[in-house]
Amino acid sequence: MAPNPMKINTKQSADSSTSSMAAAAAASSQEILVRETLRISANLASTPLLQTPSSLKMICCEEIDGRRWKYVAETDASGHFKKNSFRPLSLHTPQAPVDELLAFVRSYVVPEGFPDSVTPSYVPYMTWRALKHFFGGAMGVFTTQTLLNSVGVSRNRATPGAVAINWILKDGAGRVGKMLFARQGKKFDYDLKQLRFAGDLLMELGAGVELATSAVPHLFLPLACAANVVKNVAAVTSTSTRTPIYKAFAQGENIGDVTAKGECVGNIADLLGTGFSIWLAKRNPSLVTTFSLLSCGYILSSYREVKSVVLHTLNCARFRVAVESFLKTGRVPTLHEGNMNENIFSFPWRDKPVVLGSRIKEAFQDPSAYIAIEPLFDREKYIVTYNPLKHKVYAVLKDQAKPDDILKAAFHANVLFSLINSNESKASSLKETGDLNSNVTHTIADIEACMADTCKIVANSYSLFKNKAKEEGWTMSESLLNPGRARLYPPDNK
């Protein structure tokens, strides 16, 4: 006999209803269980140290970057610790996802203990450095694209092997230029900021030469080699000046951490700039206009990056700023003021108005000038003079000169330079007012009189200048003043 459909449907409906109710009850039980678990966890997290449950015994507490935990262990009825019951309990509320993300990013881009682990100038420096790398990465796309197009113009006539040889020769020329420029060595310490900025200017020059290959693709090899030499020289400069700059930011023995995070910031900015440039290149912008704008941004960022560095040492440029401020106001500038007023465009290959440790033939125009001035420095380990033909102040060092004598010679030379500039400025103002007969002559007698005045000034103010400089935090050392190797020996030593 066939089953009754109505009974089957009724039975299926009942079974289905029973299953649904069971599923709903299970889901409700799971929700209750989850809520209770969260409530217990929250209560444990917010329970004060003194309210630890009786079955849990607090062992110790720890703190990491402002976040705290307490370690507890479960005990049995006899008061002994149960195995594998030692665990930490958080004493802080969970961070929002955004805060967790920011904490993760900070762990990659700032040193541990920031901001207390670095000097205040670290933030502006890294800001401008990141912006410079952004523009640099953006320009890299256009220059690489141009080079590839230029080397491939003759692909219908040249084999792939010839193209590869051209590219290898280009890179080889760059390495040779890097090796030759590395011999500058100590100059990277003397004029750190000036060379760093000059290196960035060379980097832009190299990028411009690379773009020029698109206009004259048949000159790809010589232009690409020249550009690579220039860019590798710039790379040597950047690498050589990087560590002293990072060292100035480190507040303790964390130079490695500061360097690693600084390079990470640069790489992130470089990748962002590369991505932006790829997006921009798809819209076929004007190559010259785009490169000009990116280049201006790169150079401006480089200048601001270098200006934001605050060094504690006195090189020739900062020493001149300190002496001029001392002579005019009676005070030595602070570290920030001295670094901000330093002339970044005073490149090492330019003639400097004050030469320390020069040779006799450069300092004196004739023997009578030396004979007239030499007695003024009998008690000193140096001789300072002015050569009117070259418009420079020279400091000749004696063989007994110690580090403090070299500092004093540099101070004396800068005092003489300021006095001569002041006299020439007065003469120029008199000429502008109509007194055409007014002039500052630089005879031996005039120079001798000027030297006598500076000797009095230096005798009364050098110690005061040095003490005030130390009070402002300057490191008084002759090592970065770049004194020449020539020394004056008495005749009986010959």
Check residue 476 and give its pLDDT: 80
Q: Could you tell me how many residues make up the chain? A: 494
The Cα–Cα gap between 112 and 130 comes to 19
Residue pointed to by tokens 């678990």? 37
> How much is the pLDDT for 323?
94
Look at residue 87 and tell me whether its pLDDT is greater than 70.
yes
Mean pLDDT of 237-241: 83
pLDDT at residue 461 tops 90: yes
pLDDT in tens, 243-253: 888 888 888 78
Q: What is the chain's mean pLDDT, rounded?
A: 77
Residue 204 pLDDT > 80: yes
- DSSP annotation string for 274-338: HHHHHHHHTT---HHHHHHHHHHHHHHHHHHHHHT---SB--HHHHHHHHHHHHHHSSPPPHHHH
pLDDT, tens digit, 9 for 90 and up, residues 465-480 = 999 999 999 988 766 8
Of the given ranges (92-101, 196-205, 386-395), which has the lowest mean pLDDT?
92-101
Structure token pair of residue 418: 């300021």
In this prediction, residue 77 has a pLDDT band, given cuts at 50, 70 and 90, of: confident
pLDDT of residue 154: 45
Cα–chain center distance at 169: 32
What is the pLDDT, as a whole number, of residue 349?
A: 63
pLDDT, tens only, 96-137:
777 777 776 777 777 777 777 788 888 888 888 889 888 888
Question: Strand pairing partners for 386?
Answer: 393
Q: pLDDT digit string (tens) for 263-305?
A: 888 888 988 998 998 898 888 888 889 989 999 999 999 999 9
The 10s digit of each residue's pLDDT in 11-20 is 444 454 545 5
Q: Which residue has the higher pLDDT, 319 or 494?
A: 319
From residue 305, alpha-carbon distances to 125, 205, 206, 249, 403 in Å are 5, 19, 20, 13, 32
Cα dihedral 197, 201, 207, 213 in deg (nearest 10): -160
Q: What is the pLDDT of residues 27-49, one digit of tens each?
A: 555 555 555 555 555 454 444 44
Residues 385, 412: contact at Cβ < 8 Å? Answer: no
Neighbours of 181 (CB within 10 A): 19
Distance between CA 473 and CA 480 in Å, rounded? 16
- What is the spatial distance between Cα 196 and Cα 239, in angstroms, rounded to a whole number? 9
What's residue 335's pLDDT? 92
Structure confidence at residue 427 (pLDDT)? 57
| Tokens at 218, concatenated | 């048949």
Which range has the top average pLDDT, 83-97, 267-281, 478-492? 267-281
CA–CA separation, 176 and 425 (whole Å): 47
- Residue with more model confidence, 155 or 132: 132
pLDDT score of 321 more than 90: yes
Contact between 231 and 206 (Cβ < 8 Å): yes
Mean pLDDT of 145-159: 60
Closest CA to 338 of 354, 356, 325: 325
Strands 67-74, 56-64: pairing kind: antiparallel
What stretch(es) of the chain map to CATH 1.20.1250.20?
Answer: 109-307
Give tens-digit pLDDT for 328-381: 999 999 999 999 999 888 766 677 889 998 888 888 877 878 888 888 898 999
- Upstream peptide bond of 97 is cis (omega within 30 degrees of 0): no
Predicted local distance difference test score (pLDDT) of residue 414: 94
- In angstroms, the Cα distances linking 349 to 191, 198, 363 are 10, 11, 19
Task: Retrieve residue 420's tokens.
Answer: 């001569």
**Over the stretch 169-185, which tens digit does the pLDDT of each residue have?**
656 665 666 566 555 55
CATH assignment of 109-307? 1.20.1250.20
CB under 8 A, 24+ apart: contacts of 4-10:
none
The pLDDT value given to residue 60: 77
pLDDT digits (tens, 9 = 90+) for 399-456: 888 989 999 999 999 999 998 887 776 655 555 555 544 444 466 677 778 888 899 9
Containing 393, the helix (H) or strand (E) segment is strand 392-397
